[in-house]
A and B are shown apart, each in its own frame.
Chain A
């Protein structure tokens, strides 16, 4: 099995787990989790080392992070079984001080990149250690002024141990980003803020790997990862609806069948 094929198998298992969690919990935020899973798979399966940190700025993607952490052995079966239930430490948006792999509570957009900058500055400048920080953002995150305040900071200080990964699925709370509050030219914006930017298909592991491996020339890195909201489940793909809705039993069965189908289609 090639590295990419192995990661695709990981991502498929994580999507199945993720859908089961959402079905059992009757929980929404499915589309934005599915769009992020390939990025999360690569970051947690390959890129992050013990001394590195990961901040999920798009806190509404928490369940996709939980599923990913569980897949890679960072969350136990018992912990994951509590998801969305009374008494859990795994609510719909990450909780503070709940788990070692989740350093920060997020859920209000625009908080992740400043926190990641504080960590990256500490590692690179104050402590002179080699810790890296990855921050996963959504389109909506990039509506927030605080994200761009932090981008200025990362650019100014040349935080080349920081990677801002934008899960750019093009859909946010009430519609398409293009219609709500245009972010294009998105990659140029990050470039203008001093980032080394790679625009890529956020579901292609070879592209993700190449983007994260390329030298940053002393700059913070930004991956503008073009993704599909609802990726892997055709009836959910590219819809605003599946930002919100939970699945019925029939929809869950259809979603699982669709994932299996997608798995049989060889990647281009």
Chain B
């Protein structure tokens, strides 16, 4: 998603002279063009994430609209208090972009994974979270963030295993995507929801025709706080199926699944496929990590089948 992000943020910088771009010394082979084009509006704060976010807050207090970039764990955990105190409490238009959400950085190891980023940020005052479902979803998120007067966070992820699948629909405000609709609404069905690129697990199942014959709705969420008044299709789907399978490349505690579960009508079941480390954790590619914690198309299809059998 980084390529798409660079392109979108370059357009955002071009469109708004009050904006600037601050990196925590990351973005090699990505931001050189921005650096060259925007001069002093491109700032390298150094490997100093706390200071980087404080500087962004100071610039915002002086009337500017900074984008802040690092890899997702560095852009969130290290500087969490700066995000809370300096940015969120002051409701400032600081847009934080974290590259490598979830297991994106795979073999780089656990220090580079971000499995709790949305969780630590979602409770902060005024904060809005964006987590695109795929590469062609990034520009819409950047565009929405650029229009906000308050703080936001963008969770970028790798797309090495991604399936670019055209959605059936995408809501302009929530960015929620509908990827599949039940063939027969009179029949029992299952509502599949993915948070951000977590929905890729379902898209891969769809692409492999592994969900053929299953009566499923598939949605991809991309923005928090949720607005199910706007995303009425999800609400209606859950009301009808009463069976939800939720998938996210994030710890269950603090994740998007637990947040949406609260907003859904009474369900027969809510199955959550989420990320976690084990005590005997081993390291490898993003796909390896996804397999390790059962975030696979096969596991998703199994979960759907179990619910379908239970309902019939």
Contacts and interface: CB of A to CB of B under 8 A. Distances in A.
Interface of A: 53, 55, 96-97, 103-108, 110-111, 113-123, 125-127, 131, 145-146, 149-150, 152-153, 156
21 contacts: A55-B58, A96-B90, A97-B89, A97-B90, A105-B89, A107-B85, A114-B53, A117-B54, A117-B58, A118-B57, A118-B66, A121-B59, A126-B20, A127-B62, A145-B50, A146-B50, A146-B82, A152-B48, A152-B51, A153-B46, A153-B55
B40 A117 contact: no
Interface in B66-110: 66, 81-82, 85-86, 89-91
B74 to A, nearest CB: 13
Of B43, B62, B86, most A-chain CB atoms within 10 Å: B62
B45 interface: yes
A97 B126 CA distance: 13
Given A125-B40, A146-B51, A153-B55, A118 B61 contact: yes
B116 to A, nearest CB: 21
Contacts of A104: 57-58, 61, 86, 90
Classify chain B: how many residues form its interface, as a range. Answer: 20 to 34
Nearest to B61: A103
A149 B51 contact: yes
A146 B45 CA distance: 12
Contacts of B89: 96-97, 105
A118 B59 contact: yes
A119 B90 CA distance: 15
Contacts, number: 110
A118 B58 contact: yes
Contacts of B62: 53, 118-119, 122-123, 127, 131
Of A108, A114, A152, most B-chain CB atoms within 10 Å: A114
Of A53, A103, A115, A116, most B-chain CB atoms within 10 Å: A115
Nearest to A151: B51
A104 B57 CA distance: 9
Contacts of B63: 122, 127
B35 to A, nearest CB: 14
Interface of B: 20, 40-41, 43, 45-46, 48, 50-64, 66, 81-82, 85-86, 89-91
B20 A114 contact: no
A19 to B, nearest CB: 29
The 5 closest A-B CB pairs, nearest first, are A118-B58, A114-B54, A149-B51, A149-B48, A118-B55
A126 B20 CA distance: 9
Contacts of B20: 126
Given A97-B90, A146-B50, A149-B51, A126 B57 contact: no
A79 B120 CA distance: 35
A53 B59 CA distance: 12
A56 to B, nearest CB: 13
Given A106-B85, A121-B55, A121-B59, 5 more contacts: A55-B58, A117-B54, A118-B60, A152-B51, A153-B45
A152 B46 contact: yes
A182 to B, nearest CB: 22
Contacts of A111: 54, 81-82, 85-86
Nearest to A129: B62
A98 to B, nearest CB: 10
B58 A108 contact: no
B91 A150 contact: no
A55 B60 CA distance: 14
A153 B40 contact: no
Contacts of A152: 46, 48, 51
Nearest to A150: B51
Contacts of B40: 125-126
Nearest to A152: B46
Contacts of A125: 40
B43 A108 contact: no
B54 A146 contact: yes
A122 B82 contact: no
A6 to B, nearest CB: 32
A142 to B, nearest CB: 14
A120 B58 CA distance: 8
A105 B61 CA distance: 11
